[in-house]
Amino acid sequence: MVKKRHSTLTDTLLRQWQSGGRLSDLLLPLSWITRLAVTIRKLRYKRGLKQASRLPVPVIVVGNIFVGGTGKTPFVLSLLAALRQRGWQPGVISRGYGVKVGHEARHGYGEQIDAAYLGDEPAMLARAAPVAIHPDRTRAARCLLQQYPDTTVIIADDGLQHLALGRDIEIAVQDSRGIGNGRLLPAGPLREPATRLDSVDYLVINTPAEAPATTGPATESPPARSGVDEHNKPRRVLMQLLPTRMVHLRSGQSMPPEQWATAHQGQRIAAIAGIGHPPRFFSTVSHAGITAQQTIAFPDHHAFSEDELRAIDADIVLMTAKDAAKCKAMQDERLWSMEVAPRFSDAAFFDRIAEQLKSLPVY
């Protein structure tokens, strides 16, 4: 049973963002305004009316043009680990969606960072690397470098449209929804025209878990199969998000998904997700051999309450790692999270990025 915690109008718009329809057509004039605003903003930088800030360390921007979740956070976590393995000291900057930040940027690093302080995704990323947040990404970056001076490369999470920050490498993450109906907000799901993808360095395509899998462990890349022309932009890399472990929120106990599925066979499981694209999580749960009797989709960045979760009629409540970051302090023994890790189609992907970083000039 699938439940959704948002309006019928929202459901209609989300469907039409994929395939078009009357509501999308009615909103099309507003999309022209969005396109005009995007064009004007880019022209101001192109003609020198505004200058992008350059930092003393390289900047990798990871983002997308499709509004909502496409799998950026697991990708960034994988990129952080890969860069550290190759001798870099990465840090992350982000807007900090849903957090009211004052004049000064906020920063943090470690397991105990509260999602209410940094935001959902930044709190997750702060377990793996120093993080600073501010709507002004340059201000966030300067805070990061001041507080964590050993940082040698900055990853700008969801910064593709933030032109005020200079960048050295651009990576766009896309999922199976592609560009939807191809229209800009609000008639479609795009923040920028689809042609923007032609200018990024790498296009990472998050394919469904049930798609034909490449070989190799989830933590490292299998043999290259992309067949992409090395001299063309963007280089396309396939990514699959595969479940790696199940974590009990109260005790911290963890186990492999296969073992977990066997141990909880016959129990009533509710899968919940407050992320940008909940169906992707539900599909991953199913592909892991876990049967959820009900799936409940909440709005992205939803603030869960204990009463809300207690009201779910199930023996087990299974959620995403992002949602779990906000629910760790809850007393409900039924709460579990599923952690995922990316697997890539290109074995040399992270090596290419590292080599590209080494060849950059020093500012």
DSSP of 295-341, one letter per residue?
EEEPPTT----HHHHHTS--SEEEEEHHHHHHHTT---TTEEEEEEE
Judge whether 195 lies within some domain.
yes
Poorest-confidence range of 13-17, 199-203, 221-225, 348-352? 221-225
Residue 10 is predicted with a pLDDT of: 85
Poorest-confidence range of 50-59, 79-88, 95-104, 241-250? 95-104
* Mean pLDDT of the chain, nearest integer: 92
Reply yes or no on whether the pLDDT at 291 is more than 90: yes
Q: CATH number of the domain at 92, please.
A: 3.40.50
Judge whether 280 lies within some domain.
yes
Q: Are residues 233 and 153 in the same domain?
A: yes
Ligand-binding annotation for 70, yes or no, is yes
Ligand-binding annotation for 71, yes or no, is yes
Please give the average per-residue pLDDT across 351-359, as a whole number. 97
Reply yes or no on whether the pLDDT at 348 is more than 60: yes
Ligand-binding annotation for 69, yes or no, is yes
User: pLDDT class for 227, splitting at 50, 70, 90?
Assistant: very low
Judge whether 11 lies within some domain.
no
Q: Are 166 and 53 in contact (CB under 8 A)?
A: yes
Residues 6+ apart with CB under 8 A from 221: 343, 344, 345, 346, 347, 348, 349, 350
Judge whether 25 lies within some domain.
no
Residue 4 is predicted with a pLDDT of: 59
Q: Are residues 189 and 317 in the same domain?
A: no
Which is nearest to 72 in space by CA: 246, 297, 276?
276
Greater model confidence, 362 or 299: 299
Q: Are residues 271 and 218 in the same domain?
A: no
Reply yes or no on whether the pLDDT at 223 is more than 90: no
Judge whether 37 lies within some domain.
no
Q: Are residues 169 and 278 in the same domain?
A: no
User: pLDDT class for 33, splitting at 50, 70, 90?
Assistant: very high
Ligand-binding annotation for 166, yes or no, is no
Q: Are residues 204 and 141 in the same domain?
A: yes
Residue 361 is predicted with a pLDDT of: 83
Q: Are residues 208 and 322 in the same domain?
A: no
Residue 224 is predicted with a pLDDT of: 32
Poorest-confidence range of 7-11, 227-231, 312-316? 227-231
Poorest-confidence range of 212-216, 286-290, 344-348? 212-216
Please give the average per-residue pLDDT across 327-356, as a whole number. 96
Judge whether 312 lies within some domain.
yes
Ligand-binding annotation for 73, yes or no, is yes
Helices (H), the chain: 8-19, 22-46, 72-85, 115-118, 120-125, 137-147, 257-263, 278-287, 306-310, 321-327, 349-358
Q: Are residues 132 and 210 in the same domain?
A: yes
Residue 111 is predicted with a pLDDT of: 86
Instruction: Provide, rounded to the nearest whole percent, the portion of the chain with pLDDT above 90.
Output: 85
User: pLDDT class for 363, splitting at 50, 70, 90?
Assistant: low
Reply yes or no on whether the pLDDT at 265 is more than 60: yes
Q: How far apart are the first and last CA of the chain?
A: 55
Reply yes or no on whether the pLDDT at 226 is more than 60: no
Q: Are residues 192 and 268 in the same domain?
A: no
Q: Are residues 236 and 247 in the same domain?
A: no
Q: Residue 266 belongs to what domain range?
A: 242-341
User: pLDDT class for 5, splitting at 50, 70, 90?
Assistant: low
Q: Are residues 98 and 112 in the same domain?
A: yes
Ligand-binding annotation for 67, yes or no, is yes
Reply yes or no on whether the pLDDT at 7 is more than 70: no
Q: Are residues 221 and 148 in the same domain?
A: yes
Ligand-binding annotation for 180, yes or no, is no
Judge whether 203 lies within some domain.
yes
Q: Are residues 92 and 197 in the same domain?
A: yes
Judge whether 2 lies within some domain.
no
User: pLDDT class for 225, splitting at 50, 70, 90?
Assistant: very low
Reply yes or no on whether the pLDDT at 132 is more than 80: yes
Residue 217 is predicted with a pLDDT of: 39
Domain count of the fold of the chain: 2
Ligand-binding annotation for 289, yes or no, is no
Please give the average per-residue pLDDT across 280-301, as a whole number. 95
> Model-level pTM?
0.90
